[in-house]
């Protein structure tokens, strides 16, 4: 089953970094995942996060307001797979 991953953020450098690290983690773990970006601030706010970037896996916010390391993202993906 494929995971649905969303990167929440208006396109700031931290948001871009989170997307890059998430794509690397998915590739390294060999996961099947659909990765998309949500840049619409109204839609981002609907997830209830106060600080971007945000990471959403299968509709659940798993991280917000920080840029995790590659290993942290891997741990999050494994836990939420």
Cα–Cα dist 44/34, whole Å: 18
Q: Choosing from 5, 7, 8, 15, which is the catalytic residue?
A: 15
> Of 4, 10, 12, 27, which residue is the catalytic one?
12
Query: Does the active-site annotation cover 15?
Result: yes
- In b/e form, how buried is each residue of 17-49, taking b as 16+ CB within 10 angstroms? ebbebbeebbeeeeeebeeebbeeeeebeeeeb
| Catalytic site includes residue 52 | no
3-class DSSP state of 55: strand
Which residues form the catalytic set?
12, 15
């Amino acid at each position: 089953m494929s995971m649905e991953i969303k990167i929440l953020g208006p396109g700031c450098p931290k948001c871009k970094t989170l997307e890059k690290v998430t794509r690397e983690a998915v590739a390294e773990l060999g996961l099947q995942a659909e990765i998309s970006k949500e840049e619409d601030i109204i839609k981002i706010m609907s997830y209830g996060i106060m600080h971007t970037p945000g990471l959403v896996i299968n509709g659940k916010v798993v991280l917000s307001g920080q840029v995790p390391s590659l290993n942290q993202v891997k741990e999050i993906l494994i836990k939420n797979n």
